[in-house]
Amino acid sequence: MIRLFAKNAGAAALALFAMPIFQAAAQQQVPPAPADAPSAQAPAAPAPAPQAPAFPKPDPANFTATSPTQETVNSFLSASWGYDDTRIWQVAAILKTPVEGVSKVVVYVGDKTGKEKAGSMGFYVLPDGKHIIAGDTLIPFGSNPYAEYRAELQQHADGPYRGSASKDLELVEFADFQCPHCKDAQANMEKLLADYPKARIVFQNYPIIRLHPAAMAAATYGVCVAKEGGSSAFFTYAGAVFDGQDGLTSVDGATLTLNSAVTKAGLDPVKIKTCAGAPEASKSVEDSVKLAQDLNVNQTPTLVINGRQVPANAPYETIKQIIDYQAKLDGVGK
């Protein structure tokens, strides 16, 4: 029997492996108040400083599966969590399951500073050895978990780009022009452009039409702007559409917003509208959506850093930490 180190499987510490960052605030621990208020004559002793957790010693009986190995699990966790030098973990179990080829991995996870509550979490490794299921999310797994997604993006991410022509450090943004969170993420994208001049920063359309009725039109217009005016014109257009996003909520407002954005990009709105109505424009957007789905991108805005997914509207310093770490793992300059 595995003894859990803390209740709730450390879910807040884990979040998601591919997007592992943003629930840590929920784990901040406050020392409990004393049972009785101290008197003026007897001041309370200061609370002890937080300390790193001491994980239970692993039990060999909890390692019943032959695959994956502890080495592979640790390499995966290092690739996923190594950007955060305060995070510590220990593989507690690698267990057979009733399903042939499916193993359950249990990991203790904590924080060197002791400020976050230590816990345990589990995930299932699928028979291909290349994917896990954590919660309800399918995530790449292995010693170099993001390599296949990186190669797929290098081959198929064909949207407008800024920065370097080299794909050694490729930051691919999947976004929806009518998504408010995507609008918020543009501040991060502008900072990345300034801070990573050697990166190739690509925009890929991912309109979520069931939520945003004008997103497809905005995307096809963008395809045609890029076709007619190149990447520079596209990013002028994109900035104008995000700035005027509130106008996309009605049919007439969307027409005015998109035409205005095309004009700001220095192009003819009539010509762009005609292009946007052609099957080729829709096919380009559909191909971009399929690429997102093939990578299991399931929300916007998502930034994919050499194959590794993070929310594009995450705290900027955390995004930078992950980019720097992923670039180091991949042996590329920034």
Environment class of 204 (CB within 10 Å of its CB; exposed 0-12, middle 13-18, buried 19+): buried
pTM, whole model, 2 decimals? Answer: 0.84
pLDDT-based confidence at residue 332 (cuts at 50, 70, 90)? very high
With vertex at residue 300, the alpha carbon angle to CA 162 and CA 282, rounded to the nearest 5 degrees, is: 70
Q: Is the pLDDT of residue 5 over 50?
A: no
Written as one letter, the residue type at 136 is D
Within 10 Å of residue 291's Cβ, how many Cβ atoms? 23
Q: Is the pLDDT of residue 141 over 90?
A: yes
The string of pLDDT tens digits covering residues 169-214 is 999 999 999 999 999 999 999 999 999 999 999 999 999 999 999 9
The string of pLDDT tens digits covering residues 257-275 is 999 999 999 999 999 999 9
As a whole number, mean pLDDT of residues 26-48 equals: 41
Helix, strand and coil content of the chain, in percent to the nearest 5, comes to 40, 20, 40
Cα separation, 82 vs 248, whole angstroms: 41
As a whole number, mean pLDDT of residues 123-144 equals: 95
Instruction: Give Cα separations from 92 to 9, 24, 60, 72, 76 (angstroms).
Output: 12, 22, 9, 14, 15
Full set of structural domains in the chain with CATH: 7-29+46-144 (no CATH), 148-330 (3.40.30.10)
Structure tokens, 222: 């963008």
Q: Which pLDDT value is given to residue 115?
A: 78
Q: Is the pLDDT of residue 233 over 50?
A: yes
